[in-house]
Structure 1
């Protein structure tokens, strides 16, 4: 991907007030991906801002339990366990990180990454993963029609990616009329809300490692932010379009994390 110049400060800034402040902070409105109801989760890539070797295929695990602090198996390692807290503090810390402009032409969309305090995740680590996904040549900048850039909390941003515990993500999504049941993720105007349980455990029977599911998750929900709607599986055995709701099942398709395959936009029939 070329050399990357990043400036990282290890501090985090508090964005949101706790609990009851969530609704007033985020306001109403929801993504053009459909009517109020479940929306999908997020994808992300390896934890670095430079290319990494693809992970080896492995079995996925059962859905994350919603019990606070209960360990759940993590796809890609049947012996590993991820602790997924059900709730956090309701406050978010911003990754103090700036990345290069990704893409060659078109309007620039600047974004920042925030992580709920109490989630057990480091904002900088999460930002590195997300930037790696959106900076990949198979992601949304591939056709030269837009550019993306990670910015720090001190800079203006066009949208924010939030990684939140199941209870907090559900509460935020509900302000836009979206019912996620603490399981899936959503996009509100200017907010891409990633469910921590999906981030840490993916979904059962996805057929690809956790890292690949995260890539799908990021590209899918950021795709909504960029104006893309849902798409259907184009046929059994074919790659799932990234805008298919893969979190709720592949419907005969196989897992795919990218909007561009072999340099061409890959999509399916639009669905409402």
Structure 2
């Protein structure tokens, strides 16, 4: 009788411990795995689609511009003085003073347009005092500004309309495929080319395979067998090709 009672007590105790273990397991069991979130478009953290960029620079800026302060020295030797202002689009990620310094260095070089000894230049900060303004603008803004002068650039090329030299940020940062020269050469070219239009110069053709490209050749569209050249004066002489009709 006692033996049966002990067995019953032991069986009851085992059942109680097992039930407690089951209850404890239910308390610490991890919650059921939630379904994985569906994959969507990349975002910039604001809930909107990622801001489009090309080569690490914005495709579009604010549309407003900051002007470089101060004046450069008068560069050149003879002839009328042409004053220019330099501005950079806000939101373009470029320093206006650094851009202005590059423009000053290019236009103040003896190989640039002052090499004619018939022209002097100076950068000024005031819009009212400037004969023309040199812009560094994002592709979208560049396209809009050029279109105001009746030019279609498709957001790709730089342009000049009267009183405005508009440098496309995409070309400033990336140059063009197969240019065959460092970025600094292309930057020098595009400044001299577009400012050349402001000074009345027209497009020119490649003189022949292996020859330097005239600065007024549309080098952005290809060299046509010529070699990249950024300057209107080569070895102290004006270097040019035949005029291109209809462009």
Which interval holds the TM-score relative to the shorter structure? Answer: 0.7 to 0.9
State the 4+ residue runs in structure 1 displaced beyond 6 angstroms: none
Partner of 2:143: 170
What SS class does the counterpart of residue 163 from structure 1 fall into?
A: strand
Given candidates 44, 49, 53, the residue that maps to 1:70 is 53
Partner of 2:37: none
Given candidates 71, 85, 106, the residue that maps to 1:98 is 71
Partner of 1:189: 162
Any idea what the Cα deviations from partners look like across 1:142-184, whole Å, max 9, x if unmatched? 0201011111137610000001000000001111111100000
Partner of 2:183: 210
What are the ranges of 5 or more consecutive residues in structure 1 without an aligned counterpart? 1-66, 73-82
What are the ranges of 5 or more consecutive residues in structure 2 without an aligned counterpart? 1-49
Partner of 2:174: 201
Partner of 2:225: 252
Partner of 2:87: 114
Aligned-pair RMSD on alpha carbons?
Answer: 1.3
Q: How many residues align?
A: 196
Aligned counterparts of 2:51 and 2:190: Cα–Cα separation in 1: 23
Structure having the larger proportion of residues in helix: 2
Aligned counterparts of 1:198 and 1:269: Cα–Cα separation in 2: 25
TM-score (norm 1): 0.70
What SS class does the counterpart of residue 250 from structure 1 fall into?
A: coil
How many Å apart are 1:84 and its aligned residue? 1.7
1:125–1:234 CA distance, 2 compared to 1 (3 A): same
Given candidates 203, 228, 236, the residue that maps to 1:230 is 203
TM-score (norm 2): 0.77
Aligned 1:19-58 pairs, distance under 5 A: none
Larger Rg: 2
Residue 136 (structure 1) aligned with residue 119 (structure 2): no
1:105–1:128 CA distance, 2 compared to 1 (3 A): same
Higher relative contact order structure (alpha carbons within 8 Å, sequence separation ≥ 6)? 1
**8 Å contact from structure 1 (residues 95, 153) kept in 2:** no
1:222–1:154 CA distance, 2 compared to 1 (3 A): closer
Aligned counterparts of 1:145 and 1:235: Cα–Cα separation in 2: 29
**8 Å contact from structure 2 (residues 85, 127) kept in 1:** no
What SS class does the counterpart of residue 233 from structure 1 fall into?
A: coil
Structure having the larger proportion of residues in strand: 1
What SS class does the counterpart of residue 199 from structure 1 fall into?
A: helix
**8 Å contact from structure 1 (residues 97, 127) kept in 2:** no
Any idea what the Cα deviations from partners look like across 1:203-230, whole Å, max 9, x if unmatched? 0110000000000000000000000000
